[in-house]
Amino acid sequence: MADSKAKPGLLLDIRNLRIEATVFPPGEPPKNIVLVHDVSLTLEKGKVLGLIGESGAGKSTIGLSSMGYGRGGVRITGGEVILNGRDILKGGKDGFRKLRGREVCYVAQSAAAAFNPAHRLMDQVVEATLLHGTATRAEAEKRAVALFKKLSLPNPETIGERFPHQVSGGQLQRVMTAMALCSEPDLIVFDEPTTALDVTTQIDVLAAIKDAIRDTHVAALYITHDLAVVAQVSDEIMVLRHGRLVEWGGTRQIIKEPRQEYTNALVSVHEIEHAEQKPGMTPFLSVKNVTAAYGRSHIKVLKNVSVDIYPGQTLAVVGESGSGKSTLARAITGLLPPEQGTVTFDGRPLANRLADRLKEDLRQLQMIYQMADVAMNPRQTVGTIIGRPLEFYFGIRGRERDKRVAELLDKIEMGKGFSDRYPAELSGGQKQRVCIARSLAAKPKLIICDEVTSALDPLVAHGILELLLELQKEENVAYLFITHDLATVKSIADSIAVMYRGEVVRYGPKSKVLAPPFDAYTDLLLSSVPEMEIGWLEKAIKGRRMASAGN
């Protein structure tokens, strides 16, 4: 390693990088924590290194250090970052400014948020190029249009005149890649560039990014938590955990012959074997021909949707964003009264509007949300949060309530000690568990789970799914499980409804829905789920029967 400075073809050489931040825990003096512990890596020109790990592993922090950037108070306190033969940490603020947007460019997770809503796309795409004076405006715009073409954006000549809100999420992500490539940098940091996209859109963006990297010979740090995705684009993969290096090797070696236990845990498929239950005689909740729209809009978000839910079973609703999954949940709970159709519960029709429903009906239908953080009052303790339904629905108070809260905490595999904690003191998985306990406290017949594992790391999500299945056995509660993730569906569902543009396109028991022959959309959905296989991307693109809607 010592002579690597002299090695030709070496672009980035990070040595013993140490990154710290100051945290301000409530009620305690501020303290320093180390986010990255002496991590070293090298990257050759034109190569792609995948950085992978769960949240808090330090992957984004390491990626951004190649631009000398620390998000919100994060400081680089040790080591060297050698880019093109010089230690950029010694260059100071002016040095950073000169390399950002010229030698190293950045592609953010959410392009929708990363583009300035006030400026046209073209102005933003060529901004860095003009700032660093590497081309005239005309040249830069010509280059941008060529990149738009390469990234197969529609109307490459005119898309630059649009504002960010006029372009879809998948397209914006590609425009952002074009923006990074426009100033012809040596290195691009891709920070979870496809994570916020639907699977069917992700595959196109991934292919576009891969082609662009290949054709422009740019090097890249590709940051993601999804091994199957990174396996498609990287030459090498580095596995990180808690800011430390776990394993670093060629892509094939990491996914086929992982040497570390942690890598193995990430690589192995986490399918839960869940035997399908046959639907019983009578469903306790039936959605019949429901049509719904927001406001007085003519655009129907739900079109003639009918599904049944059986006691103690799980109906999974799958589809991409905008397909009407969450709207279905809102129609069932009464938050969005349907325009037509009925929801029957226990043989009697439920009132359309939430305000007209009985307290007993409200108790029987509970919800858990994707964002556990914002679904809880940050100023209430876990005990208060879980105890609230007990007081509200059953009038249980005082010691009896505390006893029930302790039991519920036990059910979600968290100790009694958590009762006095505040949500901010919990991890993402723990927060979601508290939300599960809160919904269970009402002893409902149905819990609607809206993307409950989507914001969690794979291993944590796995734990939540196992817990949900366990609780279903114990409490005989039914789930309406909304997700865009097909692996999750396989693990938990008894029956499946596939939704596309407000309609149920495929519905039935899991074994039937997931067995061929497929309709075109289900086929697209299934074939878009990344597999941990080198070369999967090319195969999947070739084998597709329909284009994804997000493009």
Q: What is the binding site for another protein (CB under 8 A)?
A: 67, 69, 71, 96-102, 105-106, 108, 110, 113-119, 124, 127-128, 131-132, 162-163, 165-166
Closest CA to 96 of 76, 121, 118: 76
Q: Which of 57, 167 has the CB closer to another protein?
A: 167
Q: Which of 106, 222 has the CB closer to another protein?
A: 106
CB of 147 to another protein, least distance (A): 16
Residue 517: asked if its preceding bond is cis (omega within 30°), the reply is yes
Q: Which of 101, 170 has the CB closer to another protein?
A: 101
Q: Find out whether 513 and 507 touch, Cβ atoms under 8 Å.
A: yes
Q: Which of 191, 198 has the CB closer to another protein?
A: 191
CB of 273 to another protein, least distance (A): 40
- Which 8-state DSSP code applies to residue 12? E
The set of residues, in sequence order, having a beta carbon less than 8 Å from that of 66 and lying 6+ positions away, is 12, 14, 81, 83, 88, 104, 187, 189, 221
Q: Which of 110, 216 has the CB closer to another protein?
A: 110
Sheet holding 75-83, edge to edge: 31-44, 10-23, 75-83, 86-87
CB of 100 to another protein, least distance (A): 4
Q: Which of 99, 446 has the CB closer to another protein?
A: 99
Q: Which of 122, 441 has the CB closer to another protein?
A: 122
Is 462 buried (19+), middle (13-18) or exposed (0-12) by CB count in 10 A?
buried
Q: In whole angstroms, give the CA distance from residue 434 to residue 437.
A: 5
Q: Which of 110, 381 has the CB closer to another protein?
A: 110
The set of residues, in sequence order, having a beta carbon less than 8 Å from that of 123 and lying 6+ positions away, is none
Residue 449 is which amino acid? C
Provide the sign of the torsion angle of the four alpha carbons 191, 194, 197, 198, taken in this order.
negative
Is 444 buried (19+), middle (13-18) or exposed (0-12) by CB count in 10 A?
buried
CB of 96 to another protein, least distance (A): 8
DSSP string for residues in 460-471: HHHHHHHHHHHH
Query: Hey, what are 289's tokens?
Result: 């021909």
Q: Which of 92, 250 has the CB closer to another protein?
A: 92
CB of 536 to another protein, least distance (A): 30
Closest CA to 506 of 239, 315, 357, 329: 315
CB of 483 to another protein, least distance (A): 26
Torsion of CA 354, 360, 364, 369, to 10 degrees: 40
Q: In whole angstroms, give the CA distance from residue 38 to residue 36.
A: 6
CB of 63 to another protein, least distance (A): 11
CB of 95 to another protein, least distance (A): 10
